[in-house]
Amino acid sequence: MKVGRSLQEVLMELQRQNQAKKDYIAPAQSMRLEKDGRTFQMGEQAPFATTQLFHRQLASTLAIPAKYYDLMQKEKPELLAENVNVWLDTRQSNYMIRSMDYGAGPVARALLSERYRRIDNMEIASAVLPLFAGNDGYSVESCEVTENRLYLKILNKRLEMEVRKGDIVQAGVIISNSEVGLGAVSVQPLVYRLVCTNGLIIDDFGERRNHVGRQAKMAEDFTLYSDETLKAEDKAFMLKLRDTTMAAIEESRFAQVVDKLKEAAGIPIKGNVQEVVELTGREFGITQDEQNGIFKYLVEGGDLSLYGLTNAVTRASQDVESYDRATTLEGIGWQIMQRRELYV
């Protein structure tokens, strides 16, 4: 499992972000992209710098093909601004703009539907972490807040089973959230393999809550009004989140997962090892550098079973620089086990 920042560092960053972020609801016709193709203007607000994700969402909202958008931004930013502004003028909709001040002024980090339900990272951490505070049986084994997501990976060190003799795995849970529209609040079981500190994320048994709600209200300067009804709904959701988190690491669910791991350990993968890795790369969108790591760990491990391939993928995830990508690979490890027809 890839190691992120310490829990204390992550919580300090979440507190800093809570003070630095601001959300707006604004009509499309009040928005403008400046001629540099990067500066965003909204009504009388100060201009915003922008993130790559903001531009991707703006392109998608206006149905401008991503490659053409990127080409204009790189070579003809004034043409991009003209395209964007013309299409914004045709829209009758309101949109949510999520901004953050990273120290050099406001940055527009997401362009979302006005119905986007704000469930922020600090709320998630504040709801979940007290469940495990002061209990030595649990540990936050890895956590991180990236530009686009929060991750909390928690282990129940008292709940462990053997896949094979001496190959012990522990039960865990991953809670993740995106404040910028890249996915629902997600709670998924996690398996932690002691022999190589691999993490495996179990998609089949997870639960998600989409960021979709009622139409938001705005003030004259486009800032969002507080909504007491939404606060009540959010409180109910956080209570459900706590229940879901504990259910994800219950013994019966963990036993079902371990049974699947045992089954995979008895399924040999057929064919040339290099070809197996290349097939995996094609099917699951794994880069060449990642494939090289998977090949290395598969050969070194000497376990040419479906379980061995899964472990090679999750071990390779630890070498990836991006925490987001490493976590994606931890999920791909489980997906491989569900596609056994590719390998037998």
What is the DSSP secondary-structure string of 28-75?
A: GGGEEE-TTSS-EEETTSPPBEE-HHHHHHHHHHTT--HHHHHHHHHH
Q: What is the reported pLDDT for 231? A: 65
- Helices 288-301 and 273-284: crossing angle in degrees, nearest 10, is 140
Range of the domain at 181: 121-214+223-250
Predicted pLDDT at 179: 93
Q: Are residues 125 and 246 in the same domain?
A: yes
Quick one: how far is CA 269 from the chain centroid? 30
89 and 147 belong to one structural domain: no
Which string of b and e fits 9-28 if b means at least 16 CB within 10 Å?
ebbebbeebeeebebbbbbb
CA distance 81 to 39: 10
Say what the pLDDT of residue 211 is.
52
Residues 131, 227 within the same domain: yes
- C-alpha to C-alpha distance for 3 and 323, rounded to whole angstroms: 8
Q: Which residues pair with 139 in a beta bridge?
A: 155
Residues whose CB falls within 8 Å of the CB of residue 314, separated by 6 or more in sequence, listed in order = 1, 193, 198, 199, 200, 329, 330, 333
The answer to whether residue 297 sits within a structural domain is yes
Examine the domain organization and report whether 131 and 246 are in the same domain: yes
Let me know if residue 242 belongs to a domain: yes
Q: Looking at the structure, tell me whether residues 79 and 125 fall in a common domain.
A: no
Last residue of a domain, one of 113, 137, 166: 113
Whether the CB-CB separation of 156 and 332 falls below 8 Å is answered with no
CA atoms 320, 325, 331, 337: torsion sign: negative
Can you give the pLDDT at residue 250?
87
| pLDDT tens over the chain, length 344 residues | 899 999 999 999 999 999 999 999 999 999 999 999 999 999 888 899 999 999 999 999 999 999 999 999 999 999 999 999 999 999 999 999 999 998 889 999 999 998 888 888 999 999 999 999 888 899 999 999 999 999 999 999 999 999 999 999 999 999 999 999 998 788 999 999 998 888 888 876 555 555 555 454 444 444 444 455 556 667 788 888 888 888 888 898 899 999 999 999 999 998 899 999 999 999 999 999 999 999 999 999 999 999 999 999 999 999 999 999 999 999 999 999 999 888 87
Q: Are residues 153 and 246 in the same domain?
A: yes
What's at 7, amino acid-wise?
A: L
* Co-location of 281 and 166 in the same domain: no
Residue 332 DSSP SS3: helix
Same domain, 80 and 157: no
Q: Tell me if 259 is assigned to some domain.
A: no
CA distance 202 to 80: 42
Q: Where are the beta strands (DSSP E) in 59-137?
A: 94-101, 106-113
User: What's the pLDDT at 316?
Assistant: 95
Give residue 76's pLDDT. 97
**Amino acid sitting at position 24:** Y
Is residue 84 domain-resident? yes
Please tell me the total count of domains within the chain: 3
Tell me what pLDDT residue 237 has: 81
Contacts for 6 with CB less than 8 Å, ≥ 6 apart: 143
Tell me what pLDDT residue 184 has: 79
Region of 19 (left: φ > 0; alpha: ψ -120 to 50; beta: rest) is alpha
Distance CA 210, CA 183 (A): 7
In angstroms, the CA 325 to CA 193 distance is 19
Contact 152, 145 (CB under 8 A): no
Please give the DSSP secondary-structure letter assigned to residue 179: S
The reply to whether 86 and 139 lie within a common domain is no
